């Protein structure tokens, strides 16, 4: 096999720095036992073209890493050429159009948002600030206030892609439109290397206002029935989430262990506007049982992101799964009950995320959604607990499948539980486009259990 000559770093299996690099491309503390033949830490777009042409010439399949937050470690594939984009961190903003040009490894909250804020602009990137935009956007991008603003991928107006032929092309609604269609929802099954995303930003909200309620677990049935019956009537400027989590409560609140947290964040222009649209949440039927009751308090995205970091600490082992949930409260609430009331570790949490009322999706690969997004994040520290924690998650997801229409790629692991992730017609179209752009299967697709 010939040498791969790029400006970046090339590591082959057996090199001294290889194992640290292999483990380092996955954020999850639970590292996959898969071993690429070569890890290419590319420096720029030219390096990406060179790496793709090299893989094609030497009979290697390609996998791609941007931010590394994939719970399943999609990018780490046996005997592949892993193209690591983490060094590509450039971004710019066209002030006239509000379009940002951003490399895929740029972290949406930690890097991109402060840059946009300096220019009075906003883009609804991922909640966890350390997530790179690459995988996030390719999977659709369930960003801030997805129920109101839509998916982040809806605001991707173009992509630069290195194809399996080794060609750098620009894809948008008018040029390579089928490739552009696929880049908005195909996720780790995308058959090219995106080197730039073109993002339509918009004017930044002037105020962020939040209400937070913490309830004992005994409130579950009444609380979640009420949420499902009423969430579609809330203003679409509100992001609404309910969790089972072990919150950091002050000592004067006599409660230990998991609790139910309802958090509503309003993206508005004034505190008064936020107060007005959050008011319906004060009609909660178990409000008198709240351990914590914060109504319409000013906040900031920096504060909101700090809580995301606290709840998603680096270094722990994660197993994550999710479902698009549908049905009457009489079916949904019992199906989710064990997921909210029996967390396996103090670090784990379960999430209910409002998407109601549903917005019609544009024509793109992403095609599944319901009014309720449900996800479980199982966290633990000791490898000896792997079987217990993964088994608990698998059992909970079996209970939820009865009220599920599919899943979202961003919180999935097909090695553990493959499930429907695109509408049938969209999946068929995606495979037709793959056959056109990558007829010989140069790029790895979705990772299923062997």
Over its length of 450 residues, how does the chain's per-residue pLDDT go in tens digits?
Answer: 689 999 999 999 999 999 999 999 999 999 999 999 999 999 999 999 999 999 999 999 999 999 999 999 999 999 999 999 999 999 999 999 999 999 999 999 999 999 999 999 999 999 999 999 999 999 999 999 999 999 999 999 999 999 999 999 999 999 999 999 999 999 999 999 999 999 999 999 999 999 999 999 999 999 999 999 999 999 999 999 999 999 999 989 989 999 999 999 999 999 999 999 999 999 999 999 999 999 999 999 999 999 999 999 999 999 999 999 999 999 999 999 999 999 999 999 999 999 999 999 999 999 999 999 999 999 999 999 999 999 999 999 999 999 999 999 999 999 999 999 999 999 999 999 999 999 999 999 999 976
87: which 2 tokens? 């060094």
Closest to 62 (Cα-Cα) out of 78, 46, 45, 44 = 78
Pairing mode of beta strands 91-94, 99-102: antiparallel
Pure H helices in 293-445: 301-311, 329-341, 386-400, 424-437
Closest to 242 (Cα-Cα) out of 284, 282, 214 = 214
Please answer whether residues 74 and 188 qualify as being in contact, where contact means their C-beta atoms are separated by less than 8 angstroms. yes
Domains of the chain by start residue, with CATH? 9-84 (3.30.43.10), 91-204 (3.30.465.10), 207-411 (3.40.462.20)
Residue-wise DSSP of 401-428: GGGEEE--GGG--TTT-----S-HHHHH
Burial 148-168 (b: 16+ CB within 10 A, else e): bbbbbbbbbebbbbbbbebeb
Burial grade of 404 (CB within 10 A; 0-12, 13-18, 19 or more): buried
């Amino acid at each position: 096999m010939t040498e791969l000559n790029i400006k970046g770093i090339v590591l082959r299996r057996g090199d001294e720095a290889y194992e640290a690099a292999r483990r380092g491309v996955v954020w999850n503390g639970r590292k996959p036992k898969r071993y690429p033949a070569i890890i290419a830490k590319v420096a720029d777009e030219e390096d990406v073209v060179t790496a793709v042409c090299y893989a094609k010439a030497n009979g290697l399949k390609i996998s791609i890493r941007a931010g590394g937050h994939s719970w399943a470690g999609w990018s780490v594939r046996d005997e592949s050429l892993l193209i690591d984009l983490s060094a590509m961190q450039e971004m710019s903003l066209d002030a006239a159009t509000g379009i940002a040009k951003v490399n895929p490894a740029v972290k949406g909250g930690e890097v991109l948002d402060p840059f946009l804020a300096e220019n009075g602009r906003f883009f609804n990137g991922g909640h966890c600030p350390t997530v790179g935009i690459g995988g996030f956007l390719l999977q659709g991008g369930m960003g801030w206030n997805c129920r109101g603003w839509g998916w982040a991928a809806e605001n991707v107006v173009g992509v630069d892609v290195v194809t399996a032929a080794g060609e750098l092309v620009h894809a948008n609604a008018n040029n390579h439109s089928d490739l552009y269609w696929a880049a908005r929802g195909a996720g780790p099954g995308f058959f090219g290397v995106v080197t730039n995303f073109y993002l339509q930003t918009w004017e930044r909200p002037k105020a962020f206002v939040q209400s937070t309620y913490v309830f004992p677990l005994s409130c579950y049935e009444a609380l979640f029935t009420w949420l499902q019956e009423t969430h579609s009537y809330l203003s679409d400027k509100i992001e609404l989430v309910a969790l089972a989590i072990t919150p950091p409560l002050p000592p004067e609140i006599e409660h230990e262990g998991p609790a139910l947290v309802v958090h509503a964040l309003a993206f508005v222009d004034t505190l008064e506007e936020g107060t007005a649209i959050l008011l319906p949440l004060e009609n909660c039927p178990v409000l008198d049982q709240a351990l914590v009751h914060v109504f319409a308090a000013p906040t900031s995205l920096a504060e909101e992101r700090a809580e995301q970091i606290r709840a998603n600490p680096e270094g722990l082992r994660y197993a994550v799964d999710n479902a698009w949930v549908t049905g009457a409260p009489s079916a949904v609430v019992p199906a989710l009950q064990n997921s909210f009331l029996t967390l396996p570790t103090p670090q784990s949490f379960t999430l209910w995320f409002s998407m109601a009322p549903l917005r019609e999706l544009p024509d793109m690969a992403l095609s599944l959604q319901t009014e309720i997004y449900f996800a479980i994040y199982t966290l633990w520290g000791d490898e000896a607990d792997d079987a217990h924690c993964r088994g608990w998650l698998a059992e909970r997801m079996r209970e939820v499948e009865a009220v599920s229409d599919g899943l979202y790629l961003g919180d999935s692991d097909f090695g553990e539980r493959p499930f429907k992730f695109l509408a049938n017609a969209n999946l068929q179209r995606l495979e037709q486009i793959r056959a056109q752009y990558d007829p010989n299967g140069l790029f790895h697709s979705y990772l299923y259990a062997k």
